[in-house]
Copies of this chain bind each other. A is one copy, B any other.
């Protein structure tokens, strides 16, 4: 009698019919004899609607209150799912994050899970109940309600799986798994049967939206295999784990892309110690996440500093950077919101030469100009013109023969 944790996203529980569909899937798992804990997101666009309501009442909604408000979305879907199971004759109970023992710090809107006290979940499982936990939320030691921010419900699911010693955490969503590239762009893109945590981390960070890197990281840390699959089909999905075989690892696994890239170049910066900090510390304080940073080689003590941010942060970043650029004697400050990124990802790249060369020559053959390059041990990312991203993804997918080798 295995213990499994399942998570269903907002699009999987968007209305009553979909909720009943999810209940049937949970019932199947129960029928197989498993003990089941389910983590659920808010229905469809509920969270966006609650946020809109908050902004109708206040231009700057108080963060503690906003968290309590948003937490109701997942409470609603968890109770409806429990009701649907009851009406099918399956014993089920919904628990809020607080009731499920999800203890967090008090960083509202982006709280971190400190620990999970699973006593209530365990006792409900012992009673034979399917336990439905409201995702995305927790409680501080002062009994205040918090939300976990982006990737919150995935994180709740993986953390619960770790705390309960579950054999697997199944993330059900509206896609059939992790692909070798976005199937909307590359028609030959293949669903991967399995992928290593580290590859998934890079994929999630560099464009694939199927899972949030935070939950993947937690899965790796606690050795919880994560299955990503569709809640609408019976496709087997993709298993994210640490035991991917050597053979499979020795290649590029997937092409990630991102169209949400804004670029800022500070031109003519005096190249002296402390300059980078003077720019990036204020950006961090403004809550702006900087992705790629490149500094050109200095010529006569003068250099250019280029970095990328999410497109939505571009205007605010310019507001922060412009006065700093002026004060340090830079020549000018230029922004560009027509940038994109393509990445090749695979643990097979580690200590294996030739991947970068093949990537750059492929892009060159397709007349794609590379503006910035960053790499990790298992990833190479090129910042290019947004208009050329789709073509670049298709060309790279062919060049690395992903569809044939899988």
Partner of A65, one of B58, B94, B99, B145: B94
A68 contacts chain B at the CB level, 8 A cutoff:
yes
A80 contacts chain B at the CB level, 8 A cutoff:
yes
A54 contacts chain B at the CB level, 8 A cutoff:
yes
In the complex the two chains form, what is the Cα distance from A57 to B78 in whole Å?
12
Chain B residues with Cβ below 8 Å from A71 are: 75
Q: Which of A81-89, A157-165, A290-298, A324-332 contacts B (4 or more CB under 8 A)?
A: A81-89
Q: How far is the CB of A404 from chain B (nearest CB, A)?
A: 46
In the complex the two chains form, what is the Cα distance from A57 to B65 in whole Å?
29
Chain B residues with Cβ below 8 Å from A249 are: none
A17: nearest chain-B partner, CB-CB? B56
Contact of A84 with B99 in the complex, beta carbons under 8 Å: no
In the complex the two chains form, what is the Cα distance from A76 to B86 in whole Å?
26
Contact of A53 with B66 in the complex, beta carbons under 8 Å: no
Chain B residues with Cβ below 8 Å from A66 are: 79, 83
A187 contacts chain B at the CB level, 8 A cutoff:
no
Chain B residues with Cβ below 8 Å from A397 are: none
Contact mask for chain A residues 47-67; partner B; CB cutoff 8 A; 1 contact, 0 none: 000100110111111101110
Given contacts A16-B53, A53-B16, A143-B99, contact A94 B80 (CB under 8 A): no
Contact of B54 with A80 in the complex, beta carbons under 8 Å: yes
A72: nearest chain-B partner, CB-CB? B72
Contact of B80 with A62 in the complex, beta carbons under 8 Å: no
Chain B residues with Cβ below 8 Å from A144 are: 99
Contact of B65 with A86 in the complex, beta carbons under 8 Å: yes
Chain B residues with Cβ below 8 Å from A65 are: 79-80, 82-83, 86, 93-94
A20 contacts chain B at the CB level, 8 A cutoff:
yes
A69 contacts chain B at the CB level, 8 A cutoff:
yes
A138-175 residues with Cβ-Cβ distance < 8 A to B are 143-145
Contact of B16 with A57 in the complex, beta carbons under 8 Å: yes
Tallying the copies of this chain within the complex gives 2
Sorting the interface of chain A by its residue count into under 10, 10 to 19, 20 to 34 or 35 or more gives 35 or more
Chain B residues with Cβ below 8 Å from A86 are: 58, 61-62, 65
Contact of A72 with B76 in the complex, beta carbons under 8 Å: yes
Given contacts A16-B53, A54-B80, contact A87 B60 (CB under 8 A): yes
Contact of B64 with A80 in the complex, beta carbons under 8 Å: no
Chain B residues with Cβ below 8 Å from A39 are: none
Contact of B64 with A93 in the complex, beta carbons under 8 Å: yes
Chain B residues with Cβ below 8 Å from A16 are: 53, 56-57
Contact mask for chain A residues 88-126; partner B; CB cutoff 8 A; 1 contact, 0 none: 000001101001000000000000000000001000000
In the complex the two chains form, what is the Cα distance from A338 to B315 in whole Å?
68
A256 contacts chain B at the CB level, 8 A cutoff:
no
Contact of B83 with A58 in the complex, beta carbons under 8 Å: yes
Chain B residues with Cβ below 8 Å from A228 are: none
Chain B residues with Cβ below 8 Å from A62 are: 82-83, 86-87
A392 contacts chain B at the CB level, 8 A cutoff:
no
In the complex the two chains form, what is the Cα distance from A99 to B60 in whole Å?
24
A62: nearest chain-B partner, CB-CB? B86
Contact of A83 with B61 in the complex, beta carbons under 8 Å: yes
Q: How far is the CB of A131 from chain B (nearest CB, A)?
A: 13
Partner of A83, one of B15, B20, B57, B96: B57
Known: A57-B83, A72-B76, A99-B143. 8 other contacts (CB 8 A): A15-B56, A16-B56, A54-B80, A62-B86, A65-B83, A65-B86, A65-B94, A69-B83
